[in-house]
Amino acid sequence: QAATPTPRPRSLDEVDWCNHDFGGVNQDLRRGRAELHEYGELGGLHDTYITRLRAVVRGDLDGDRRPEVAVVLSQETWLASGGSNTSTDVLVFTWRRGKPNLLGTIPAGTPVEAVSLRRGLVEFTSGPDHTVSVHRRGKRGFVLVRRTTP
């Protein structure tokens, strides 16, 4: 039986972030997750990459009374050579020309505990040391304004 097509979203509030293609390698999420087994088809040891949706936070970043959205994605990597890594990014979107438009990606610590968008700033608490990072939007993405560790 064919899947029922999802209606095209008309705003950020209608985007199905759990089933969204974020446009990067292994970022076409289904049910909040994407998995890639690089060289897995060869039957031996292979690299594994897992991307997970961790949070979606709405806020008015630029004061225009329309929401922007911060999406938190984590990436887990296991290499055939034995190494592993986990990283987390905060992706910030606005609505433009009938679709989500990426304003920028901000690297974060793992895990991300809190995110807010307001007064031109993206603020989040992340990492095992609960570091608070504050970024503002610059001409080429987001710029770190301050970082504090309790």
Per-residue confidence band for 4, with pLDDT thresholds at 50, 70 and 90: low
The pLDDT of residue 146? 97
Average pLDDT, the chain: 91
pTM: 0.89
3-state secondary structure of 31: coil
115: left (phi over 0), alpha (psi -120 to 50) or beta: beta
CA distance 99 to 85: 32
- Report residue 128's pLDDT band, with 50, 70 and 90 as the boundaries: very high
